[in-house]
Each structure stands twice: as C-alpha cells, then as structure tokens.
Amino acid sequence: MSFPWAPALLALYYSVLVVLSFFGLHRLMLVFIYLRTGGRRAAQPPPPLPDDPQTWPVVTVQLPLYNEMYVAERLIDAVCQLDYPASRLEIQVLDDSTDETTEIVARAVAGWRERGVDIRHLHRTDRTGFKAGALEAGLASARGEFLAIFDADFVPTSDFLLRSVPYFLAEPRLGLVQGRWDHINRAYSLLTRVEAILLDGHFMIEHSARNRSGRFFNFNGTAGIWRRAAIESSGGWEHDTLTEDLDLSFRAQLKGWRFLYLPKLKVPSELPVDVNGFKSQQYRWAKGAVQTGRKLLGQVWRAPLPWKVKLEALIHLTNNASYPLMVLLSLLIFPAMLLRRGTSTATLLLVDLPLFLSATASVLTFYLMSQVAGNEEWAGEIRYLPALMSVGIGLSVNNARAVLSGLFHDGGVFHRTPKYRIEKAGQSWTTKRYRVGSDPTRLIEALLALYFLGITVYAAVAGMWMSIPFLLLFVQGYGYMAVLSYLPSLRDWWARGRVAAGPAGAGG
C-alpha cells in the first residue's frame, strides 16, 4: 500500500538524520583538533610573580549568591583561605538572598573580618539582572584589577590565584583564565555520573580544542578570573540573555581579548542530585545560548575573523538545535519504520547505518576521549556511556522547549540550580529545602517512553531486530527522565498523606 505523503515524510526523516549527523561529525572534528594540538599548544607554566608580594595585582573575588543556605559558608571559608597577600585581596559576597542565607553569610563574613580578611557582604533587596546584575553591582565598587568569580556550589583550592594570576602579567591582552570544573559528588548516583561525563566532554575536549586552535571558547560563569579592563571595554555584564557568561565571552573576544583555558587548574564543585534541578540548569544553558546566538552571530559574521573562527562560533551557538530535531526524529521513527519495512539490507547498510553512526558513534567517541584525556579511572567510567546516550535523548524535550523559548524571547527568570551540600553517597537531599517547580515536560517524556516501548514490541514481532537496541535507548532515556522527574512529587504526596493520617492507631 502506497501513501502520497510517504516521499515527503522520508525526506524529512533523512534530513533530520543528516543534520544530527553533522553535529555528531563536528564533535569528531573537535576530538581530532584536541589530539592534533595536544602538547605543543598546551599552556606553558607562567612566569613567577614578583618577589615582593606587595607589588602583586589586587584581585577581587566575587561570590554571587541567591538562597544558598547549605553551601554559602563552605564557599566563603574556602575563598577566605586563598593563598594570596591579604592587602592585595578583596572578597565580595554578592548576596541577593531572601531567606536565612543572608544571616548565615553575615555571621561568616563577620568572623573572617575579625581575622583580618578584607571581605564585604553586599546584599541587594531585588534581583534586577539576576546574576549579571549582582556582578555588575559588585564591579562598581570593586578595587581589583582582576576579578575571580565562584558560584555557590564551588570550593576553590587555596592555590587558585597563584596558578592563574601570573598568566595575566605575562600577556597584556589576556582577558580571561578559565579553570576546569571538578566534581565533589561524581559517584553519588547514576545521574551525577552522567552529568560529570557530559561536563568532562565540554571541559576536556571542547574547551581544549577551541582554545588551542585559536577558536572562541567561553567563560563558564564560575571558576575563572577576568581582567577588569576586558569586562569594561566589552560593554560590561548585560542581562538580556540567560547566559551572561557566554554573552560577555563572545563580546570580549570580538574586541580582541585573548582567553586561556587551563585544564589542570581544577576547581571542585557540586553536581545537581535532583533531576529537576539538572533539567532546569540545562534549560537555562540551552535557552541562553540561543539568545546569545540571536544577539551576536551577526557581529561574529561581520567581524574580520578567520573562517575557522566564524564557523566554530556558528556551530557553538546553534548546536542546541539538535534537541528539537531529536524530538522530531522521535516522532518520525515509527512512521519511517513502517514505510521502510522490507527495505533491503544493502540499502540499510549503505544509507541508514552511516547516518546513525555519524549521529551516535561520534558522540560516544567524543565522550570516551574526554574520559581518557581527563580521568585516571577512565576505564571504569566508560560503562556509563550507554546511560549518557539515553540521558541525552531524555533531555531533548526539556531542551527543545528552551530552544524555542530562546528563539522568541530575550532574558527571562534566572532559576538558580538548588544546592544541598551533597558530597558523598548515602547523603539525602529529599528533606532539604529548595526545589525546582513542577517540570512541564515530564508528562511528554512519559508518553514518549510508552510510545517507544510500543515501537520496540512492534519491532520484535516484525523481526526488525537491528532496530531494537537503538529503540531501547529511547525507552530508557525518556523513561528515566520521566520517572526521576515524578519522584519528588510522589515523595511529597506520600509525606503529606502520612502527616494527614497521623500516628498509627490514632483514629477515632
């Protein structure tokens, strides 16, 4: 039986696969650049700081906080122990909190001030501009020539400034030094394992390849240090996107400032343990990247830059388009299976297999290389790669919604990711405060999981065995996201039910 719309549907299906394959091959290109530029273009040790510490540049450390009662004191304690001359170091706690975090911060700041640390508590009564607004307000009163920034979930080691500041003294046009995120609670759960590998790919392969090859890369909002002149000459912090760090990074590099990435400069941080917090973080990053692309791609394209820089910037700021394409592919897979039933094995091997390998095997290679490059225990991490593929699929609905919102809206509410000071397995976060609201995509994820479960059963009955492993990735990905997204609501419902029931045997 033939359908008049079949050629158009198959053309759309293969077009989506081609674009996803392109993004996959781009990851392979970054792996190739990483391998080609390793060693000879890696950052060399900086020159020593001057012998007299009183001649060292003044550094302002900025700590933007909003309702971080569990981790604020940990961060302040770590920053106040940075190994740097006290007279050359200023610390600003940029506190927008509306809860007891403000009292916790005030006590910690007072304690460190008594010990001779130049630390100030700057509390705003509104969140105008959100994080970008807080950084902008802090910059207005900062006395530092350089500004180091750490989010609430980070715990910088004491040598961070000693290992980063010297690079600025050796190169006047160096605008930023970015450190690498390390992970305190990597082994907490399967989710945190996957999150860590996702970030390892970004920090070990993307950042390294882009920086070594002279392409643009970006400040990650934390664990980095800016030259003040680079911020001010590039227009300062702006808050018309949800990724103020990415926005300023591109504007500064368009102004000619050079950036440096130091993969050996590790800064421990806490990964989200709640899937809804993780999804909220991913939503903000995806939406902000699209907004930044809308804002700056025209400037990048008109700038007198090498083509390799322009093309990489284009892909960098548009690669989140893969998420709505993945959702579209999810909807097209079953109709395409029906229309291609009976297709010869030779056609599948010549057409379908290369496209699927480009879109999937390339991603596996990318993340495998990130573990080989940056994790001494990489052999034990590779067993989580199938779960990573599934989580990437499961995120597609959440991030597709972010992409669509970013295409049509500037700015938005900066929903910060809840942190609970979860540092090791066995700790519980479920009774702690701070929760992301109900996730609007979880019902769609649940329906897609059931949809793919049905497709998998159909494939088994029809003898389409080659499709089943691929389909199970979709079942697992959408199902995992849906189940974890519903669990907090189910826990809360169960807890409310037990409270309403009262003590056992207390009935009338």
- pLDDT tens-digit profile of 183-196? 999 999 999 999 99
pLDDT at 375 over 80: no
Q: Which residue among 118, 151, 245, 274 is the active-site one? A: 245
pLDDT value of position 230: 98
pLDDT at 281 over 50: yes
- State how beta strands 174-183 and 89-95 pair: unpaired
CA distance 239 to 327: 29
Average confidence (pLDDT) over 402-426: 90
| Token pair listed for 131 | 């994080």
As a whole number, the mean pLDDT across the chain is: 90
- pLDDT tens-digit profile of 19-58? 999 999 999 999 999 999 875 556 678 888 999 999 999 9
pLDDT value of position 41: 58
Kindly state the DSSP code that residue 453 receives in the 8-state scheme: H
Nearest 5°: phi and psi at 114?
Answer: -65, -25
pLDDT value of position 498: 47
pLDDT at 506 over 50: no
Q: Which residue among 96, 118, 182, 439 is the active-site one? A: 96
CA distance 61 to 51: 23
Question: Which of 440 and 65 is assigned the larger pLDDT?
Answer: 65
pLDDT at 262 over 80: yes
- pLDDT tens-digit profile of 152-165? 999 999 999 999 99
- How big is the chain by its Cα radius of gyration, in Å? 24
- pLDDT tens-digit profile of 107-149? 999 999 999 999 999 999 989 999 999 999 999 999 999 999 9
pLDDT at 314 over 50: yes
pLDDT at 406 over 50: yes
| Token pair listed for 440 | 């609007």
245 given a catalytic annotation: yes
* Burial readout 378-396 (b: 16 or more C-beta within 10 A, e: otherwise): beebbebbebbbbbbbbbb
pLDDT value of position 432: 87
pLDDT at 347 over 70: no
pLDDT at 486 over 90: no
Average confidence (pLDDT) over 74-98: 97
pLDDT value of position 421: 94
The Cα angle at residue 495 between residues 500 and 447, in degrees rounded to 5: 120
Question: Which of 467 and 273 is assigned the larger pLDDT?
Answer: 273
- pLDDT tens-digit profile of 189-218? 999 999 999 999 999 999 999 999 999 999
pLDDT value of position 368: 93
List beta partners, residue 225: 148, 177
- The pLDDT confidence band at residue 465, using thresholds 50, 70 and 90, is confident
pLDDT value of position 470: 87
- pLDDT tens-digit profile of 92-102? 999 999 999 99
Question: Which of 347 and 467 is assigned the larger pLDDT?
Answer: 467
CA distance 503 to 415: 38
User: Any long-range contacts for 410-415 (C-beta under 8 Å, 24+ apart)?
Assistant: 410/240, 410/241, 410/291, 411/239, 411/240, 411/241, 411/242, 411/291, 412/242, 412/287, 413/130, 414/127, 414/130, 414/131, 414/242, 414/284, 415/280, 415/283, 415/284
CA distance 78 to 31: 35
**Residue 495's CB: how many other CB atoms inside 10 A?**
12
pLDDT at 505 over 50: no
Return the percentage of the chain with pLDDT > 90, whole number: 74
Task: Kindly list the structural domains of the chain, giving each domain's residue range(s) and its CATH number in brackets, ordered by start.
Answer: 6-35+321-423+432-496 (no CATH), 58-275+283-303 (3.90.550.10)
Report the predicted TM-score, pTM, of the whole model to 2 decimal places: 0.92
- The pLDDT confidence band at residue 348, using thresholds 50, 70 and 90, is low
pLDDT at 499 over 50: no
- The pLDDT confidence band at residue 429, using thresholds 50, 70 and 90, is confident
pLDDT value of position 380: 85
